[in-house]
Amino acid sequence: MNALLWTVKLLFLFIVLTFALKNTDVVPVRYYLGLQWHAPLIVVILVAFFLGAVAGVFASLGRIVCMRRDISRLRKKTDSANAAESVTSQRISDAL
């Protein structure tokens, strides 16, 4: 299984590397007010991918924080219930 995973990783690396080598042409990226940026196409693609990934993380950050808060609250509730159960079983064993 480990060898298969490494093979897939190496294949993916090879595909990305050959894609980068084939897309080295300099392209202009135009912005408002006549601003331009000239960079290799692969750099433009990687920057766009990175910015999209960062935007996705920020978009899901609120939901992640909310879920962690709920998990913390539920763990506290479970711990207090387990503590109460432990006290009850201790009292029953002392009574016997």
Find the distance separating the first CA and the last CA of the chain, reported in whole Å.
Answer: 55
* Reported confidence tier of residue 1, pLDDT bands at 50, 70, 90: confident
More confident residue, 82 or 59: 59
DSSP three-state, residue 59 = helix
Strands (E), the chain: 26-30, 36-40
Any idea where the domains of the chain sit in the sequence?
41-89
pLDDT (tens digit, 9 = 90+) per residue, 62-81? 999 999 999 999 998 888 87
* Reported confidence tier of residue 59, pLDDT bands at 50, 70, 90: very high
pLDDT (tens digit, 9 = 90+) per residue, 27-52? 998 988 889 999 999 889 889 999 99
How far apart are the C-alpha atoms of 60 and 15, rounded to whole Å? 29
